[in-house]
Amino acid sequence: MRTRHKAPSRSSYLKWWYRKTRIEKKTPFIDTFNSIPLRQIYGAPLGGFGGGSITRGWRGEFCRWQLNPGMYTYDTVIENQFTVCLRKNGQTIYQQVLSIERPHKLQSWNWGYCGEYAFYHALYPRAWTVYKLPGQNVTLTCRQISPIIPHNYMDTSLPVGVFIWEIENQNEEDLEVALMFTLRNGTGTKDDLKGGHWNEPFHFNKEEEHISGVLLHHAAPVNNYTMAISARHKQGLLISHQTEFNPNGMGQEIWKDLLQDGKLDSLPGKGKPTDKRQVIAAAIATTCIVPARKQNVVEFCLAWDMPKIHFGSREKEHARWYTRFFGASGDAAPALSHYSLTHYKQWEQQIDDWQHPILENGQLPDWYKSALFNELYFISDGGTIWLQVTDDLNITNGLTVQRNQLPPLPKVMKEYGRFAYLEGQEYRMYNTYDVHFYASFALIMLWPKLELSLQYDIDDEPWERVNAYLIHDTADWKDLNLKFILQVYRDYYLTDDVTFLKDMWSICQAVMDSELKFDTDGDGLIENSGYADQTYDGWAVTGPSAYCGGLWLASVCIMCKMAEILKEEEEYKKYRDILEKGKEAFERILWNGKYYNYDSSKKCYANSVMSDQCAGQWFVRACGLGEDEYEVFPKAHVLSALKTIFDLNVMSFANGTMGAVNGMRPNGTIDTSSVQSDEVWIGVVYGLAATMIQEGLVTEGFKTAEGTYRTVWEQLGMAFQTPEAYCKKNIYRSLAYMRPLSIWSMQLALDKMHE
């Protein structure tokens, strides 16, 4: 399986890459020479939004780390494990690391758990691993929980993960069962060896709920942090710990400590700071009796506290959003752990209330339920930052508008902070707007305040530092302004926030006035400039086009609707006139009797069938429009175009098993005129499926989306790293990408269909 890259000018990119990596010693925003390798190991990540994320693999390993904002390491830290110890009549009868690995370190430990006796299942934000201990008549079920809860803007920000272990004893005799959680200081990188790390045990008691654990303090080069492993006390449960041990040796001391009596020697006091090149780890163990034919439950928590962060320039210090509730002094890990262990049951109830109606809907296929929730991983694990704002923040940064002055600090930003996420783990640019256009459905439907905050946000670090995109000059892109207009009204439509609409109105007027310059012949329809001047940045487009032209007409329609709501009669008339002219030109120039041509050039691919040609209609329908005076595209034409796309781009591509290819020739062959026309974009496919559902083509919509899901999650093994694109020959591009969050537009279409 091979990777494919975006295609900037090779010479200009090489010069830039050399300067960035060799002279400035920085990580490039897109590194085409060092792509992330595909590793088919990932499971559901841990942690809320904006506090960093830690991914566990489906085999239980801790293998992907993003603690510093936007910076990833892909190292499996083998010392981070759960180990079970079974004792009967005062003797240890079984002790096993719950990992199939056989590493070259810690060889005194009993590794190599047989994978045939384990099962993993993830439905984000939870995951379950079941271990049937061979020959022991004992079943362990680990339930992993992260506090991802719609419309909850406190708990969803917490950098924590909870592990609930259910122990089932199917024997006729009682068993003493110990579970040990080991964690190494650091994330498996060379920074672990710089010294200064130290550990200490802690106990935290509040409202008669008591937890114990170990704090792992990290003296990082930038953005110091503390991690905590802990367990919750209850009657009949003993919690023990080992403040530090050497993870680079044989591991004999801690292994024998647990083996001897099912407990760890809990020595008091703090550990000493590590020397350079010294690595340490900590452990916590719970020990309890599980009666014959009964069950018992133990509860662990992993928390990490990096309260203040700097970005690459280190010009400003920022406080993460969760510090609003737990403080920014760097000592919140015990309180975070206690809160998590005493509130996870409430989290699960809220998660069940959210997911249950969809999971129990027998009309929805199982693959869709899996995709809908599991694709949400990216909002947490997309290099996400969620920050507090200061009272002196002025988002306008000198921007002036003629009417309805944009407030310097909108209420939604003051009350909910500012939010950003990467375009992808390989394309490290924040809030890439042409891609967020697709992904934004997840935010507006589940965390609408974050979407509104993002819409208001204009300037400040890292927002003030223009993303380092150098493939094309985005100032001349035709789709960015239009996507702002469409998202503004959709966000108003779904939130009914009139203040937001009024604040955005003057900005919408300004960006539409700017966009009008692209209508060079005054026919009410904008023209593309002959290069890839839109989100398909490797696919040139000339003159009026289906994609940008459709987005333009949809935006003009939206401007009419906003003007009507705000009683702006002159603006309504202005845009109504443009809309009528533009509709006529669009149909005359691009409609060919079956679908809308890709563009109006004389080139050989001008009449290609673009899977995304109905993107404008997609948003018009999502905004509750598209009929009567707000009909933009004739319904018969939309249906014909969608059916043509289904017949050619879907069913004639890999026999309908891989989703919709971006471009298809009218004769049923793939459009290979560009590096992107022969790709499948997962997020575009989900948006196309939503458009089909909106127009009543429900069966076709699910068939289209299913091919993409099964290709990514099953055939290619890309769970929790959904890429931007793949080709028929299993070439893929940009792992862990933002756009597939557009699957939530399918759910919006289904919700509206059932209203």
Check if the beta carbon of residue 83 is closer than 8 Å to that of residue 76.
no
Interval 225-241 mean pLDDT? 98
Whether the per-residue pLDDT at 461 is higher than 60: the answer is: no
Using 50, 70 and 90 to split pLDDT, how confident is the model at 679?
A: very high
- Would you state the pLDDT for residue 37? 82
At 248-259, the pLDDT tens digits run: 999 999 999 999
Q: How far apart are CA 318 and CA 315, in angstroms?
A: 10
The two structure tokens encoding residue 233 = 């006390």
At 167-218, the pLDDT tens digits run: 999 999 999 999 999 999 999 998 899 999 999 999 999 999 999 999 999 9
Check if the beta carbon of residue 229 is closer than 8 Å to that of residue 240.
no
2 φ/ψ angles, rounded to the nearest 5 degrees? -120, 160
In 192-290, the DSSP E strands lie at: 198-206, 209-218, 225-232, 238-245, 281-290
In eight-state DSSP terms, residue 475 is G
Which strand ranges, in their side-by-side order, compose the sheet holding 680-681?
A: 2-3, 731-733, 725-726, 680-681
Would you give the end-to-end CA distance of the chain in angstroms?
44
Whether the per-residue pLDDT at 404 is higher than 60: the answer is: no
Whether the per-residue pLDDT at 369 is higher than 90: the answer is: yes
What percentage of residues in the chain have a pLDDT greater than 70? 92
Q: How far apart are CA 54 and CA 76, in angstroms?
A: 11
Interval 520-534 mean pLDDT? 95
Strand, helix or coil for residue 572: helix
Q: How far apart are CA 144 and CA 167, in angstroms?
A: 15
Whether the per-residue pLDDT at 722 is higher than 70: the answer is: yes
Burial class (CB in 10 A: 0-12, 13-18, 19+), 495: middle
- Would you state the pLDDT for residue 67? 95
Burial class (CB in 10 A: 0-12, 13-18, 19+), 496: exposed
Domain 364-754 has CATH 1.50.10.10: yes
Alpha helical stretches, state H, 69-154 = none
Check if the beta carbon of residue 98 is closer than 8 Å to that of residue 78.
no
Whether the per-residue pLDDT at 103 is higher than 50: the answer is: yes
Whether the per-residue pLDDT at 730 is higher than 70: the answer is: yes
Q: How far apart are CA 32 and CA 530, in angstroms?
A: 26
- Would you state the pLDDT for residue 31? 63
Check if the beta carbon of residue 89 is closer than 8 Å to that of residue 400.
no
What is the chain's mean pLDDT, rounded? 93
- 3-state SS of 681-735? EHHHHHHHHHHHHHCCCHHHHHHHHHHHHHHHHHHCCCCCCCCCEECCCCEEECC
- Would you state the pLDDT for residue 396? 82
Look at residues 219, 334, 231, 339 and name the one whose alpha carbon lies nearest to residue 280: 219
Whether the per-residue pLDDT at 459 is higher than 90: the answer is: no
Hey, which residues does 225 pair with through a beta bridge?
Answer: 218
Going by C-beta distance under 8 Å and a sequence separation of 6 or more, which residues neighbour residue 369? Answer: 123, 358, 359
Look at residues 331, 330, 303, 333 and name the one whose alpha carbon lies nearest to residue 319: 330
What is the model's pTM?
Answer: 0.94
325: left (phi over 0), alpha (psi -120 to 50) or beta: alpha
The two structure tokens encoding residue 462 = 């890292």
The two structure tokens encoding residue 343 = 């509130």
Look at residues 720, 751, 723 and name the one whose alpha carbon lies nearest to residue 379: 720
Whether the per-residue pLDDT at 49 is higher than 60: the answer is: yes
686 φ/ψ angles, rounded to the nearest 5 degrees? -65, -40
- Pseudo-torsion of CA 91, 97, 98, 104, nearest 10°? -160
Strand, helix or coil for residue 505: helix
Interval 559-581 mean pLDDT? 98
Check if the beta carbon of residue 10 is closer than 8 Å to that of residue 18.
no
At 60-95, the pLDDT tens digits run: 999 999 999 989 999 999 999 999 999 999 999 999
- Would you state the pLDDT for residue 476? 85
CA atoms within 13 A on the CB side of 54: 25
Q: How far apart are CA 38 and CA 129, in angstroms?
A: 23
Q: How far apart are CA 90 and CA 21, in angstroms?
A: 59
Using 50, 70 and 90 to split pLDDT, how confident is the model at 343?
A: very high
The two structure tokens encoding residue 456 = 């208001």
In 536-683, the DSSP E strands lie at: 542-543, 609-610, 663-664, 680-681
Architecture of the domain whose range is 76-353: Distorted Sandwich (2.70)
State how far Cα 133 lies from the chain centre: 34
Boundaries of every domain in the chain: 76-353, 364-754
- Would you state the pLDDT for residue 315? 75
Q: Which residue has the tokens 């443009």?
A: 578
- Would you state the pLDDT for residue 20? 58
Lowest mean pLDDT segment, chosen from 378-382, 458-462, 472-476, 540-544: 458-462
Whether the per-residue pLDDT at 467 is higher than 50: the answer is: no
Asked if domains 76-353 and 364-754 share a fold, the reply is no
Using 50, 70 and 90 to split pLDDT, how confident is the model at 331?
A: very high
Whether the per-residue pLDDT at 552 is higher than 70: the answer is: yes
- Would you state the pLDDT for residue 469? 45
Check if the beta carbon of residue 738 is closer than 8 Å to that of residue 422.
yes
State how far Cα 628 lies from the chain centre: 38
